[in-house]
Protein backbone atom coordinates (compact mmCIF):
# COMPACT_ATOMS: atom_id res chain seq x y z
CA UNK A 1 0.00 0.00 0.00
CA UNK A 2 0.90 3.64 -0.36
CA UNK A 3 0.13 5.15 3.04
CA UNK A 4 -0.04 8.87 3.72
CA UNK A 5 0.48 10.04 7.30
CA UNK A 6 -1.22 13.39 7.81
CA UNK A 7 1.06 15.18 10.26
CA UNK A 8 2.18 18.79 10.60
CA UNK A 9 5.60 17.75 11.92
CA UNK A 10 7.45 14.73 10.51
CA UNK A 11 9.90 14.65 13.45
CA UNK A 12 7.19 13.81 16.02
CA UNK A 13 7.62 10.46 17.74
CA UNK A 14 4.18 9.17 16.70
CA UNK A 15 4.73 10.13 13.07
CA UNK A 16 8.15 8.46 12.95
CA UNK A 17 6.92 5.35 14.76
CA UNK A 18 4.07 4.90 12.27
CA UNK A 19 6.40 5.51 9.32
CA UNK A 20 8.94 2.96 10.58
CA UNK A 21 6.25 0.33 11.22
CA UNK A 22 4.69 0.79 7.78
CA UNK A 23 8.04 0.57 5.99
CA UNK A 24 9.03 -2.46 8.07
CA UNK A 25 5.88 -4.19 6.84
CA UNK A 26 6.71 -3.37 3.23
CA UNK A 27 4.56 -0.31 2.55
CA UNK A 28 5.41 2.98 0.83
CA UNK A 29 4.98 5.97 3.14
CA UNK A 30 4.57 9.69 2.51
CA UNK A 31 4.20 12.30 5.25
CA UNK A 32 1.85 15.14 4.36
CA UNK A 33 1.31 18.38 6.25
CA UNK A 34 -2.47 18.53 5.85
CA UNK A 35 -2.54 22.29 6.51
CA UNK A 36 -0.63 22.80 3.25
CA UNK A 37 -3.07 20.83 1.12
CA UNK A 38 -5.33 22.53 -1.40
CA UNK A 39 -8.71 20.93 -1.97
CA UNK A 40 -10.36 21.09 -5.38
CA UNK A 41 -14.08 20.34 -5.54
CA UNK A 42 -15.62 19.52 -8.89
CA UNK A 43 -18.52 17.29 -9.91
CA UNK A 44 -17.41 13.66 -9.36
CA UNK A 45 -13.76 14.76 -9.27
CA UNK A 46 -12.52 15.61 -5.76
CA UNK A 47 -8.80 16.42 -5.93
CA UNK A 48 -6.02 17.22 -3.47
CA UNK A 49 -2.94 19.27 -4.35
CA UNK A 50 0.21 19.26 -2.18
CA UNK A 51 1.83 21.73 -2.14
CA UNK A 52 1.10 22.37 -5.81
CA UNK A 53 1.15 18.86 -7.23
CA UNK A 54 -1.84 16.57 -7.60
CA UNK A 55 -1.76 13.77 -5.03
CA UNK A 56 -2.30 10.42 -6.71
CA UNK A 57 -2.43 6.72 -5.91
CA UNK A 58 -2.79 6.98 -2.13
CA UNK A 59 -4.36 3.78 -0.76
CA UNK A 60 -4.76 4.72 2.90
CA UNK A 61 -4.25 7.62 5.30
CA UNK A 62 -3.45 7.90 8.99
CA UNK A 63 -4.77 11.26 10.21
CA UNK A 64 -2.80 12.97 13.00
CA UNK A 65 -5.03 16.04 13.17
CA UNK A 66 -4.30 18.58 15.91
CA UNK A 67 -7.21 20.16 17.77
CA UNK A 68 -6.30 23.65 16.56
CA UNK A 69 -6.85 22.66 12.91
CA UNK A 70 -9.75 20.22 13.30
CA UNK A 71 -11.99 21.94 10.75
CA UNK A 72 -9.41 22.07 7.95
CA UNK A 73 -7.86 18.73 8.87
CA UNK A 74 -11.17 16.89 8.73
CA UNK A 75 -11.93 18.57 5.39
CA UNK A 76 -8.72 17.01 4.03
CA UNK A 77 -9.66 13.61 5.48
CA UNK A 78 -13.13 13.91 3.95
CA UNK A 79 -11.61 14.72 0.55
CA UNK A 80 -9.53 11.53 0.71
CA UNK A 81 -12.64 9.58 1.72
CA UNK A 82 -14.48 10.98 -1.31
CA UNK A 83 -11.71 9.48 -3.43
CA UNK A 84 -12.28 6.06 -1.85
CA UNK A 85 -9.07 6.19 0.22
CA UNK A 86 -9.12 4.23 3.48
CA UNK A 87 -8.54 6.02 6.78
CA UNK A 88 -7.87 4.90 10.34
CA UNK A 89 -10.38 7.57 11.42
CA UNK A 90 -13.19 9.08 9.38
CA UNK A 91 -13.69 12.84 9.29
CA UNK A 92 -17.01 12.41 11.08
CA UNK A 93 -15.47 10.30 13.87
CA UNK A 94 -12.65 12.83 14.41
CA UNK A 95 -15.15 15.69 14.66
CA UNK A 96 -17.30 13.73 17.11
CA UNK A 97 -14.36 12.81 19.34
CA UNK A 98 -13.31 16.48 19.48
CA UNK A 99 -16.78 17.55 20.62
CA UNK A 100 -16.63 16.88 24.37
CA UNK A 101 -20.31 17.66 24.86
CA UNK A 102 -21.63 15.52 22.02
CA UNK A 103 -19.37 12.58 22.87
CA UNK A 104 -20.53 12.66 26.50
CA UNK A 105 -24.11 12.60 25.22
CA UNK A 106 -23.30 9.53 23.11
CA UNK A 107 -21.74 7.73 26.10
CA UNK A 108 -24.75 8.60 28.26
CA UNK A 109 -27.16 7.32 25.59
CA UNK A 110 -25.21 4.03 25.38
CA UNK A 111 -25.29 3.61 29.17
CA UNK A 112 -21.51 3.81 29.49
CA UNK A 113 -19.97 5.04 32.71
CA UNK A 114 -19.17 8.78 32.77
CA UNK A 115 -18.74 11.36 35.56
CA UNK A 116 -21.85 13.43 36.27
CA UNK A 117 -21.62 16.27 33.77
CA UNK A 118 -23.59 19.48 33.40
CA UNK A 119 -23.72 21.86 30.45
CA UNK A 120 -25.54 25.18 30.56
CA UNK A 121 -25.26 28.11 28.17
CA UNK A 122 -23.67 31.02 30.09
CA UNK A 123 -25.58 30.46 33.36
CA UNK A 124 -26.74 33.42 35.43
CA UNK A 125 -25.29 33.95 38.93
CA UNK A 126 -28.43 32.69 40.65
CA UNK A 127 -28.37 29.46 38.58
CA UNK A 128 -24.81 28.46 39.45
CA UNK A 129 -25.44 26.95 42.94
CA UNK A 130 -27.95 24.52 41.40
CA UNK A 131 -25.43 23.46 38.72
CA UNK A 132 -22.80 22.82 41.40
CA UNK A 133 -25.27 20.71 43.39
CA UNK A 134 -26.19 18.62 40.33
CA UNK A 135 -22.63 17.22 40.05
CA UNK A 136 -22.44 16.45 43.77
CA UNK A 137 -21.01 19.72 45.04
CA UNK A 138 -17.36 20.64 45.38
CA UNK A 139 -14.66 19.85 44.62
CA UNK A 140 -15.62 19.77 40.94
CA UNK A 141 -13.91 20.04 37.58
CA UNK A 142 -14.58 22.76 35.00
CA UNK A 143 -13.53 22.08 31.40
CA UNK A 144 -13.38 24.17 28.26
CA UNK A 145 -15.12 22.34 25.42
CA UNK A 146 -12.10 22.85 23.17
CA UNK A 147 -9.30 22.11 25.67
CA UNK A 148 -6.67 19.40 24.99
CA UNK A 149 -3.75 17.73 26.78
CA UNK A 150 -5.07 18.84 30.17
CA UNK A 151 -5.20 22.51 29.17
CA UNK A 152 -8.44 24.36 29.86
CA UNK A 153 -9.23 22.12 32.86
CA UNK A 154 -9.74 23.69 36.31
CA UNK A 155 -10.27 22.05 39.70
CA UNK A 156 -12.50 24.14 41.93
CA UNK A 157 -12.18 22.93 45.52
CA UNK A 158 -14.77 25.19 47.17
CA UNK A 159 -18.19 26.55 46.25
CA UNK A 160 -16.80 30.08 46.22
CA UNK A 161 -14.01 29.08 43.82
CA UNK A 162 -16.39 27.14 41.57
CA UNK A 163 -18.85 30.04 41.47
CA UNK A 164 -16.05 32.50 40.64
CA UNK A 165 -14.62 30.39 37.79
CA UNK A 166 -18.03 29.62 36.26
CA UNK A 167 -18.99 33.30 36.42
CA UNK A 168 -15.72 34.29 34.76
CA UNK A 169 -16.16 31.86 31.86
CA UNK A 170 -19.81 32.84 31.51
CA UNK A 171 -18.92 36.53 31.28
CA UNK A 172 -16.46 35.68 28.48
CA UNK A 173 -19.19 33.73 26.63
CA UNK A 174 -17.04 30.60 26.80
CA UNK A 175 -18.69 27.18 26.68
CA UNK A 176 -17.73 24.90 29.54
CA UNK A 177 -18.64 21.55 31.09
CA UNK A 178 -19.06 21.24 34.85
CA UNK A 179 -18.06 17.77 35.96
CA UNK A 180 -18.06 15.61 39.04
CA UNK A 181 -14.65 15.20 40.72
CA UNK A 182 -13.75 11.56 41.28
CA UNK A 183 -11.78 11.68 44.53
CA UNK A 184 -10.90 7.98 44.64
CA UNK A 185 -9.05 8.26 41.30
CA UNK A 186 -6.36 10.11 43.29
CA UNK A 187 -5.04 12.12 40.36
CA UNK A 188 -4.63 9.07 38.12
CA UNK A 189 -6.37 7.79 35.01
CA UNK A 190 -6.13 4.97 32.48
CA UNK A 191 -5.28 5.38 28.79
CA UNK A 192 -6.35 2.37 26.72
CA UNK A 193 -5.45 2.11 23.05
CA UNK A 194 -8.16 0.41 21.01
CA UNK A 195 -7.33 -0.85 17.53
CA UNK A 196 -9.89 -2.67 15.40
CA UNK A 197 -12.18 -3.40 18.35
CA UNK A 198 -9.44 -4.70 20.67
CA UNK A 199 -7.42 -3.13 23.48
CA UNK A 200 -3.80 -3.53 22.34
CA UNK A 201 -2.11 -1.58 25.16
CA UNK A 202 -3.02 0.23 28.36
CA UNK A 203 -1.21 2.40 30.89
CA UNK A 204 -2.02 4.11 34.14
CA UNK A 205 -1.05 7.78 34.25
CA UNK A 206 -0.37 9.44 37.59
CA UNK A 207 -0.39 13.21 37.97
CA UNK A 208 2.68 15.00 39.31
CA UNK A 209 2.69 15.80 43.02
CA UNK A 210 0.01 18.38 43.79
CA UNK A 211 -1.46 18.04 40.26
CA UNK A 212 -4.93 16.55 39.74
CA UNK A 213 -4.43 16.22 35.97
CA UNK A 214 -2.68 13.01 34.96
CA UNK A 215 -1.63 14.08 31.44
CA UNK A 216 1.98 13.28 30.58
CA UNK A 217 2.13 16.74 28.97
CA UNK A 218 1.55 18.16 32.47
CA UNK A 219 4.44 16.27 34.06
CA UNK A 220 2.64 13.04 34.93
CA UNK A 221 4.20 9.56 34.89
CA UNK A 222 2.93 6.30 33.43
CA UNK A 223 3.16 2.54 33.97
CA UNK A 224 1.74 -0.43 32.07
CA UNK A 225 -1.50 -1.84 33.42
CA UNK A 226 -3.72 -4.87 32.82
CA UNK A 227 -7.34 -3.79 32.45
CA UNK A 228 -10.08 -5.72 34.18
CA UNK A 229 -12.94 -7.06 32.07
CA UNK A 230 -15.23 -4.07 32.75
CA UNK A 231 -12.54 -1.54 31.88
CA UNK A 232 -11.67 -3.37 28.66
CA UNK A 233 -15.30 -3.63 27.55
CA UNK A 234 -15.89 0.05 28.37
CA UNK A 235 -12.88 1.16 26.29
CA UNK A 236 -13.97 -0.94 23.31
CA UNK A 237 -17.56 0.32 23.49
CA UNK A 238 -16.41 3.95 23.77
CA UNK A 239 -14.30 3.68 20.60
CA UNK A 240 -17.18 1.96 18.80
CA UNK A 241 -19.68 4.60 19.95
CA UNK A 242 -17.68 7.29 18.13
CA UNK A 243 -16.96 5.12 15.09
CA UNK A 244 -13.20 4.99 15.65
CA UNK A 245 -11.08 2.08 14.45
CA UNK A 246 -8.11 3.53 16.35
CA UNK A 247 -8.67 5.40 19.60
CA UNK A 248 -7.10 6.40 22.89
CA UNK A 249 -9.76 6.01 25.57
CA UNK A 250 -9.18 7.87 28.85
CA UNK A 251 -10.97 6.48 31.91
CA UNK A 252 -11.05 7.06 35.65
CA UNK A 253 -11.17 4.19 38.12
CA UNK A 254 -14.06 4.90 40.47
CA UNK A 255 -16.02 3.10 43.18
CA UNK A 256 -18.82 2.55 40.64
CA UNK A 257 -16.58 1.24 37.85
CA UNK A 258 -14.66 2.84 34.96
CA UNK A 259 -15.78 6.32 33.95
CA UNK A 260 -14.96 7.66 30.47
CA UNK A 261 -13.31 11.06 30.43
CA UNK A 262 -12.72 11.42 26.71
CA UNK A 263 -11.71 9.55 23.56
CA UNK A 264 -8.81 10.68 21.38
CA UNK A 265 -8.93 9.98 17.64
CA UNK A 266 -5.16 10.42 17.19
CA UNK A 267 -3.57 9.33 20.49
CA UNK A 268 0.12 9.97 21.04
CA UNK A 269 2.22 6.82 20.83
CA UNK A 270 5.39 7.74 22.73
CA UNK A 271 4.07 7.36 26.27
CA UNK A 272 2.09 4.18 25.63
CA UNK A 273 4.85 2.44 23.64
CA UNK A 274 7.53 3.30 26.19
CA UNK A 275 5.36 2.31 29.17
CA UNK A 276 4.06 -0.98 27.79
CA UNK A 277 6.68 -2.09 25.26
CA UNK A 278 3.86 -2.69 22.76
CA UNK A 279 4.47 -1.61 19.17
CA UNK A 280 1.16 0.22 18.84
CA UNK A 281 2.20 1.73 15.51
CA UNK A 282 2.57 -1.75 14.03
CA UNK A 283 -0.88 -2.71 15.33
CA UNK A 284 -2.32 0.33 13.53
CA UNK A 285 -0.60 -0.59 10.25
CA UNK A 286 -1.83 -4.19 10.54
CA UNK A 287 -5.35 -2.84 11.05
CA UNK A 288 -4.99 -0.86 7.82
CA UNK A 289 -3.79 -4.00 6.03
CA UNK A 290 -6.86 -5.96 7.16
CA UNK A 291 -9.20 -3.13 6.18
CA UNK A 292 -7.53 -2.71 2.79
CA UNK A 293 -7.75 -6.45 2.08
CA UNK A 294 -11.45 -6.54 2.96
CA UNK A 295 -12.16 -3.50 0.77
CA UNK A 296 -10.26 -5.09 -2.13
CA UNK A 297 -12.24 -8.33 -1.80
CA UNK A 298 -15.54 -6.41 -1.78
CA UNK A 299 -14.46 -4.46 -4.87
CA UNK A 300 -13.52 -7.67 -6.70
CA UNK A 301 -16.84 -9.28 -5.78
CA UNK A 302 -18.80 -6.24 -7.03
CA UNK A 303 -16.82 -6.21 -10.29
CA UNK A 304 -17.50 -9.92 -10.75
CA UNK A 305 -21.25 -9.38 -10.28
CA UNK A 306 -21.29 -6.56 -12.84
CA UNK A 307 -19.43 -8.67 -15.39
Number of domains in the chain: 3
Please write the tens of the pLDDT for every residue from 258-271: 999 999 999 999 99
Identify the band that residue 49 occupies on the pLDDT scale cut at 50, 70 and 90.
Answer: very high
Give me the chain's average pLDDT, please: 91
User: Quick one: average pLDDT of 58-66?
Assistant: 96
Any idea what the CATH number is for the domain that residue 122 is in?
A: 3.30.1490.20
| Degrees, nearest 5: CA angle 156-181-147 | 70
Clarify whether residues 249 and 141 are in a common domain: no
pLDDT at residue 307 is higher than 90: no
In a domain, 228, yes or no: yes
Q: Which residue has the higher pLDDT, 27 or 52?
A: 27
Identify the band that residue 248 occupies on the pLDDT scale cut at 50, 70 and 90.
Answer: very high
| Phi and psi torsions of 66, nearest 5° | -70, 150
Clarify whether residues 107 and 233 are in a common domain: yes
- With contact defined as beta carbons under 8 Å apart, do 291 and 245 qualify? yes
Clarify whether residues 123 and 65 are in a common domain: no
Give me the percent of the chain exceeding a pLDDT of 70. 91
Clarify whether residues 164 and 217 are in a common domain: no
Clarify whether residues 134 and 54 are in a common domain: no
Please write the tens of the pLDDT for every residue from 234-243: 999 999 999 9
Domain that holds residue 36: 2-88
User: Quick one: average pLDDT of 154-173?
Assistant: 93
Q: Is the dihedral of CA 239, 114, 156, 146 positive or negative?
A: positive
In a domain, 67, yes or no: yes
Clarify whether residues 107 and 201 are in a common domain: yes
Give me the percent of the chain exceeding a pLDDT of 90. 78
In a domain, 127, yes or no: yes
Clarify whether residues 106 and 254 are in a common domain: yes
SS (H, E, C) the chain: CEEEEECCCCCCHHHHHHHHHHHHCCCEEEEECHHHCEEECCCCCCEEECCCCECCCCCEEEECCCHHHHHHHHHHHHHHHHCCCEECCCHHHHHHHHCHHHHHHHHHHCCCCCCCEECCCCCCHHHHHHHHHHCCCCCEEEEECCCCCCCCEEEECCHHHHHHHHHHHHHCCCCEEEEECCHHHCCEEEEEEEECCEEEEEEEEECCCCCCCCCHHHCCEEEECCCCHHHHHHHHHHHHHCCCCEEEEEEEEECCEEEEEEEECCCCCHHHHHHHCCCHHHHHHHHHHHHHHHHHHHHHHHHHHHC
Identify the band that residue 72 occupies on the pLDDT scale cut at 50, 70 and 90.
Answer: very high
| Degrees, nearest 5: CA angle 76-80-85 | 150
Amino acid sequence: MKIAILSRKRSLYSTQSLKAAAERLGHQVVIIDHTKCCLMMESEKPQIYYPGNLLRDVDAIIPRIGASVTMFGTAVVRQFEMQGVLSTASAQAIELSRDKLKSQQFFSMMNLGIPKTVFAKFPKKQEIPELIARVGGTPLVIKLLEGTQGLGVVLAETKAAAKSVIEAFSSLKTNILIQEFIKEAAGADIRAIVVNGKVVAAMKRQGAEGEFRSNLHQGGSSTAIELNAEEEITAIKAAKALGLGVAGVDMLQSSRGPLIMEVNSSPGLEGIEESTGVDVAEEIIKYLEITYLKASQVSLAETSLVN
